[in-house]
Amino acid sequence: MTFGSLFSRKLLVALLFVWPAATRWVTGAGAEPRQRAAKNNLQGRVVAKFPDGRIVPATSAKVYVLYSSEYVSDGFRNRYFTHHPTLYTAGNLFGYRYLKLVENDKVLQVKAPLTDDRALEIAERSLRCTDLALAETLDWANKHPKDAWQVSVITPAENGSWTANVKPGSYEVIIRGIVSQLDAEWFHSYDIEPETTYSLESQPRFFQPLKDTKNALLTHPEPNGKASIEAGKQRATEIVVRFINGTNGKPIGDKVVIIWLGSKLVWRDTDAKGQIILDIGDAQPRELAVMPDLVFDCRSTRDDMSGKMLKYSVDEIVSKGIVGDNRCGTVTAAPTPDALILFMRPRTSKEKRDL
């Protein structure tokens, strides 16, 4: 069974976009552009259409509308999309980072027959590249408030519908969500003209089945050859992710942190103690990655985002605890069960100017 046939035999997933004539124009968080173009309204719905006629909305979905380049109009005949390939817009930055992540993924670059296992492997790694590129784009928007209007993050309603008001221009629209037990991604590039209506139905670009964790608990063998149901019941459901200043040992409080837990992307703020209580539940795969925002990550000697590529075993955190590297100073910590301890520090004035 090929990747395509696997999808077509399960369901048809439709992503519906409609751009009717606009009523008003707003942007995402942050400063507005100096010149406002003609108004446009963007609406959509993320649902699964089954052969029996049922329509099921996606759950845990996020819609990311990223501005890429201008639509130019002088009021006469001079109207065009610039498609300017700059890295100073959210959409172009996302596309660049995504392609770089794919190019640097050795597994994705291997040429092999497209079996079912290979297709799922491609989907899993491609979805991770999308999440990483999105995280970097959102981090860029946070660091550049004047350009934050270029990013709109929308949570669809329970029926899968969502709306966003955007100005004419070129956009990347990325949607991540779960539909009919599939972790899916939709990706599209659009040139949005003034006073124009668009309608589209499409299948996800990549998807992977969610893990059946309940059945996995019943069939996972123990050293004595028996299934461990009780072990699943007694498994820890929460861990602590603790952030410590690598130069003075004080907690890093009130900071935004991006966490990849299993197949989910989680945004959380540290408390006054520099901690995040994380519900791990039956996360699959049993691993997590962490990227703090607006601080220097002491797992590296450079002010970059390489730390987010490090994966930590959830089971190891639960059983004995993990302490990350501290390359900012001599502060240390002892591993504690149910805790992941990482070292950070505030950026210097020069580091902030160099962002």
CATH number of 215-224+228-353: 2.60.40.1120
Please give the DSSP secondary-structure letter assigned to residue 229.
H
Residue 244 or 199, more confident: 244
* 199 CB neighbour count, 10 Å cutoff: 10
Q: Which residue has the tokens 């299934």?
A: 227
Whole-angstrom distance, CA of residue 85 vs CA of residue 69: 8
| CB burial string 263-282: b at 16+ within 10 A, e below | bbbeeeebeeebbbebebee
Strands (E), the chain: 12-18, 40-49, 55-57, 59-73, 79-81, 151-154, 161-166, 169-179, 182-192, 199-200, 206-209, 238-245, 256-261, 264-269, 275-279, 287-292, 296-297, 312-313, 322-323, 339-345
342: three-class secondary structure by DSSP: strand
Contact between 57 and 177 under an 8 Å Cβ cutoff? The reply is: no
Whole-angstrom distance, CA of residue 43 vs CA of residue 163: 4
Q: What is the pLDDT of residues 127-185, one digit of tens each?
A: 989 988 998 898 888 888 899 999 998 888 888 888 888 888 999 999 988 887 788 88
- pLDDT computed for residue 100 by the predictor: 87
pTM of the model: 0.54
φ and ψ at residue 36, rounded to 5 degrees? -90, 130
Contact between 102 and 206 under an 8 Å Cβ cutoff? The reply is: no
- Of 29, 38, 46, residue with least CA distance to 145: 29
Q: Where are the domains of the chain?
A: 3-209, 215-224+228-353
Is the pLDDT score of 33 beyond 60? no
3-state helix, strand, coil in the chain (%, to 5): 25, 35, 40
Q: What is the pLDDT of residues 198-227, one digit of tens each?
A: 555 566 788 888 754 333 322 223 333 333
